[in-house]
Amino acid sequence: MNEWEWGLLEDKTPVDRVRIAGGEVRVGDHVRMRPRAGGDVMDIALAGRIATVEAIEQDYEGKFHLAVVVDGDPGRDLGMLRQPGHRFFFDPSEVEPVTPEDEATTNAIRSPSILIACIGNIFMGDDAFGVEVAQRLKLRELPERVRVIDFGIRGLDLAYAILDGNDVTILVDACPRGDRPGTVYVMEPDLNSMDAGQEQSSVVDAHGMDPLNVLRLAKTMGGDLKRILLVGCEPETLGGEEGAMGLSKPVTDAVDEAVRVIDSLVAKILEGGWPVEDSQPYSAKGD
């Protein structure tokens, strides 16, 4: 029987590898869980699932325990700083290595993971556009592996989330481009053009979080910046006095349009396509 959510291993000594039946497992490897028969309902639910080994620990009796996180576990990112996810502890005899062939098959059939990251300050008029879109999306049933998080003005949390292994991140924000207020557009930022030397401009301003500056910040933190899309809306009142709550009418009307655009993007990504070609923005203008 495995012991899950076990956080009190006395005198634990971390190691980076352990031998199991069929080979050797290291931290970061994928394993398939095979709990011993006669376990509880959690054992039944986890049997056959693939997980990532996050730690290998040794207790005071010299026994090894694998701390694993199930692939696709939404607890990996709860909108705060990087989270460990829901860790389960298994005996080495209760896991088996995932062969390269198994892993290739799993990767081929799994759908991409998509983070919809909404940005905004509710006390600055139309800057709350992303927050309102997040509220609409959270009322709807989304496909598996698609998550919506309202980051508000938490730029550092967003930077960590961008680096947390999502296949695609869709940023949602009010961004002025000189179009008619309420214009909804989609663009793919050119990540290669973001010079790591621009570190000074990547400092996150808590009252004016620029998504491009957050991307620069994430880039300076290391890790792999994967595909990024920006769903933006042309504001009418952005930059007004702090304390001006509520969206303008054009931006209020644009929220439903943004939700439709995001639905379309998600559908295309899950079907294996890519909605933006050659990093060129396109617009979806309301009446």
Residue-range domain boundaries for the chain: 3-106, 111-284
Range of lowest pLDDT (75-89, 184-198, 228-242, 256-270): 75-89
Rounded CA-CA distance 53/14 in Å is: 13
Statement: 111-284 belongs to CATH 3.40.50.1450? yes
Residue 10, pLDDT > 50, answer no
Residue 162 to residues 39, 152, 247, 274, Cα–Cα distance (Å): 37, 15, 27, 18
The CATH fold assigned to 3-106 is SH3 type barrels. (2.30.30)
Contact between 177 and 234 under an 8 Å Cβ cutoff? The reply is: yes
Distance CA 157, CA 190 (A): 22
pLDDT at 142: 84
* pLDDT at res. 102: 65
Quote the pLDDT of residue 174: 92
d(CA 262, CA 28): 33
Task: State residue 186's pLDDT score.
Answer: 92
For the residues 230-253, what does the mean pLDDT come to? 82
pLDDT recorded at residue 195: 57
Residue 160 in contact with residue 82, Cβ under 8 Å?
yes
Mean pLDDT for the stretch of residues 38-58: 78
Q: Give pTM, 2 decimals.
A: 0.60
Q: What is the mean pLDDT of residues 165-170?
A: 87
Q: What rounded mean pLDDT belongs to the chain?
A: 76
123-146 average pLDDT score: 90
- Asked if 256 and 209 touch (Cβ cutoff 8 Å), the reply is no
pLDDT at 209: 66
The candidate with the shortest Cα–Cα distance to 221, out of 170, 160, 151, is: 160
Shared fold status for 3-106 and 111-284: no
